[in-house]
């Protein structure tokens, strides 16, 4: 997610001609980069049996920090948190009604894409091209999740479950361990965004027809997230 966000920021800044070389911006990006690098280094140096425990603890701390931070920021600005939450929930319900036609359209398109065999042809093409450069084509088996995620979060989740069913737990050293395609599909699920879904549903619901460079920037960010997910997964899974 960090790498895809970073590429998205850089891409938008190039289109918008935003100067990212300002000291404040560099300080923020540099600090985040150091934190992410430190997290990757920390987990890569842990014994395998401690990775799950540490990652669960860290994820919980980060999530709670965001929640507490939002509440503290609202209180410091004298904002009624509960009232704002109710107003947001009300607007969210109204928006969900508006996006139903667009949601149906994108889900039908996804179903056609999967059932007509286009997804299988795309995967075979990726595997064929990658085979010219390396024999490590195991990540291709998890690519349905990566391909479906920009289209639909639900579709990507279904693809992830299918991958886990096709590549179940295997025995290694007396323990049941997750297969690499299953492991990677789970990482894919959280590393990219539902780009086409956002464009079709949310832009459509508010009447935005000219999305300009939103699609290109979003897909480029997704590609960065996919590549980063593959590289990092190989590092952690091999470890």
How many structural domains compose the chain? 1
Q: Are 178 and 171 in contact, with CB atoms under 8 Å apart?
A: no
Integer CA distances (angstroms), 233 to 5, 15, 28, 182, 205, in order = 18, 31, 26, 11, 37
Q: Are 1 and 191 in contact, with CB atoms under 8 Å apart?
A: yes
Instruction: Evaluate whether residue 162 is within a structural domain.
Output: yes
Instruction: Evaluate whether residue 82 is within a structural domain.
Output: no
Q: Which of 27, 35, 25 is nearest to 61 (CA)?
A: 35
pLDDT tens digits for range 192-230: 888 887 887 777 777 777 878 888 888 999 999 999 998
pLDDT tens digits for range 48-94: 667 667 777 877 888 888 889 888 888 888 888 888 888 878 877 77
Considering only 45-49, 130-134, 162-166, which range has the smallest mean pLDDT? 45-49
The model carries a pTM of 0.72
Integer CA distances (angstroms), 178 to 16, 38, 39, 94, 165, in order = 43, 25, 22, 41, 11
Instruction: Evaluate whether residue 130 is within a structural domain.
Output: yes
Instruction: Evaluate whether residue 148 is within a structural domain.
Output: yes
Instruction: Evaluate whether residue 37 is within a structural domain.
Output: no
pLDDT of 45 reads: 73
Kindly report the three-state secondary structure assignment for every residue of 59-95: HHHHHHHHHHHHHHHHHHCCCCHHHHHHHHHHHHHHH
pLDDT of 238 reads: 55
Q: Which domain holds residue 135?
A: 99-238
Instruction: Evaluate whether residue 10 is within a structural domain.
Output: no
CA 208 to CA 224: how far, in whole Å? Answer: 26
């Amino acid at each position: 997610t960090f790498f895809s966000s970073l590429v998205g920021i850089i891409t938008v800044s190039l289109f918008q001609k935003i100067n990212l070389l300002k000291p404040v911006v560099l300080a923020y990006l540099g600090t985040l980069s150091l934190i992410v690098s430190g997290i990757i280094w920390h987990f890569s140096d842990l014994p395998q049996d401690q990775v799950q425990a540490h990652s669960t603890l860290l994820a919980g701390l980060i999530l709670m920090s965001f929640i507490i931070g939002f509440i503290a920021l609202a209180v410091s600005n004298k904002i009624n948190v509960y009232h704002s939450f109710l107003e947001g929930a009300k607007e969210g319900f109204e928006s969900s009604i508006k996006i139903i036609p667009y949601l149906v359209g994108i889900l039908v398109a996804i179903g056609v894409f999967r059932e007509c065999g286009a997804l299988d042809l795309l995967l075979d093409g990726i595997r064929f091209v990658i085979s010219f450069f390396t024999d490590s084509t195991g990540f291709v088996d998890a690519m349905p999740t990566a391909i479906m995620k920009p289209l639909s979060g639900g579709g990507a989740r279904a693809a992830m479950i299918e991958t886990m069913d096709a590549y179940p737990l295997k025995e290694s050293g007396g323990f049941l361990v997750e297969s690499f395609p299953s492991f990677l599909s789970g990482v894919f699920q959280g590393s990219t965004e539902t780009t086409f879904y956002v464009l079709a549903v949310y832009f459509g619901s508010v009447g935005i027809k000219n999305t300009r460079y939103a699609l290109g920037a979003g897909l480029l960010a997704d590609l960065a997230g996919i590549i980063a997910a593959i590289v990092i997964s190989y590092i952690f899974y091999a470890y």
